[in-house]
Amino acid sequence: MRWFAIPKMAISLPLAVLAAAILISINEAGFRLSTQAATSIEEAQETRGSVNKLLQQMLDAETGQRGYLLTGDPKYLEPYDAASTDIHQTSDTLRRLYAPYPAELAEFGMLSHNVSRKLAEMDLSVRMRKQGNEEAWKFVLTTDVGMEQMNAIRSQINKLDQSSNLKMQAAQTQITRSLQLSRLGIALMALAGLLAFYMYLRQTQALLNSGRREQESLQRERDQLDKEVRERTATLAELATHLQQVREDERGHLARELHDELGALLTAAKLDVARIKSRLGVNTPEATERIQHLIETLNSGIALKRRIVEDLRPSSLSHLGLVASLEILAREFEDRSGLDITTDLEMVEIGGSAQLTIYRLVQESLTNMGKYAEAKHAEISLHSFDSYLTVEVKDDGKGFDSMKVGSASHGLAGMRHRVEAAGGRLTVASSPGQGTRIFAVLPKITQAS
What is the model's pLDDT at position 416? 85
CA-to-CA distance for 424 and 389, rounded, in angstroms?
Answer: 10
Give the whole-number percent of the chain exceeding pLDDT 90.
5
| Strands, sheet with 425-430, edge to edge from the N-terminal-most edge strand | 340-345, 377-384, 388-395, 436-443, 425-430
pLDDT of residue 247: 65
Report yes or no on whether pTM surpasses 0.75.
Answer: no
Mean pLDDT computed over 415-433: 86
When pLDDT is cut at 50, 70 and 90, the band that residue 91 belongs to is: confident
* Res. 71: pLDDT tops 70: yes
> Is-contact 68 126, C-beta < 8 A?
yes
Most confident of 65-74, 134-143, 240-249, 309-318: 65-74
Per-residue pLDDT of 233-251, as tens digits, reads 667 666 656 666 666 666 6
List b or e across 105-144, with b for residues whose CB sees 16 or more CB atoms inside 10 angstroms: eebbeebbebbebbbebbeebbebbeeeeeeebeebbeee
Q: What is the pLDDT of residue 1?
A: 43
80 exposed, middle or buried (CB, 10 Å; 0-12, 13-18, 19+)?
buried
In this predicted structure, which of 84-88, 181-185, 251-255 has the lowest mean pLDDT?
Answer: 251-255
Q: DSSP characters for 284-328? A: -HHHHHHHHHHHHHHHHHHHHHHHHHHHHS-THHHHT-HHHHHHH
Q: pLDDT of 370-407, one tens digit each?
A: 888 888 999 999 998 888 899 999 999 888 887 776 54
Q: Which segments within 316-407 are labelled E, that is strand?
A: 340-345, 377-384, 388-395
Distances (CA, A) of 313 to 171, 245, 248, 250, 412: 65, 13, 8, 10, 20
User: What's the pLDDT at 238?
Assistant: 66
